Amino acid sequence: ETGVTQTPRHLVMGMTNKKSLKCEQHLGHNAMYWYKQSAKKPLELMFVYNFKEQTENNSVPSRFSPECPNSSHLFLHLHTLQPEDSALYLCASSQEWVQRYEQYFGPGTRLTVT
Amino acid sequence: SQQGEEDPQALSIQEGENATMNCSYKTSINNLQWYRQNSGRGLVHLILIRSNEREKHSGRLRVTLDTSKKSSSLLITASRAADTASYFCATDSVGYGQNFVFGPGTRLSVLP
């Protein structure tokens, strides 16, 4: 256990559905991240939150909407997804965002868009 | 072009042998990190080496950093079947913004 939990672990959704991924960290960290890992592609950083404020949005389509109500919780709201959005979505946290301290990852949510 | 790129893409060795993986990058960095990922799971942090460091050890792991060549290596000594995983380097580049990038990884298979 890394101290970062993600739910659900698996999700199958249609292109017209709306769903949310949840991440919670119990490490007292101030920065949280969403990554996308597709087959045969490097891990892609999607969003960064530092002290609940979004500090990075790496040109992610608007059908992905993050929410960070506090430093311990991070959500990724999904709507009108495409089949190419099927991937493993990983949440991570670190002590701070600046200087990129080591990141602690959750187990991921395997998303399949049908 | 990718910032961090591991080499080889895949490596297969026998238990007890040493495994060496390399990472090359393109721009100046603050630090470089190595992570391990077991199949379909989250990543686990292994080692962070800062730009002013040349070598770090952690158990059976040894990481080197050559900033003049913009490269790093991860050595796993006396490998075990449990070391079978994908290994990624991640670089934190100098500057502000989209500067933390993972490489595509090396898939290591340790055969019993």
CA dist., res. B9 & res. B19, Å (int) = 13
The string of pLDDT tens digits covering residues B22-31 is 999 988 898 9
CA distance A104 to chain B (A): 7
Query: How large is the average pLDDT for residues A27-49?
Result: 91
The string of pLDDT tens digits covering residues A61-80 is 999 999 999 999 999 999 99
Q: Which is higher by pLDDT, B63 or A59?
A: B63
State which residue of chain B sits closest to A40, comparing Cα positions.
B104
CA dist., res. B21 & res. B85, Å (int) = 12
Burial, A84: exposed, middle or buried (Cβ in 10 Å; 0-12, 13-18, 19+)?
A: exposed
The string of pLDDT tens digits covering residues B67-86 is 999 999 999 999 999 999 99
> In this complex, do B92 and A100 lie within 8 Å of one another by their Cβ atoms?
yes
Cβ–Cβ contact B33 with A under 8 A: yes
Biggest CA–CA distance in chain A, Å, is 39
Share of chain B above pLDDT 90, in %: 71
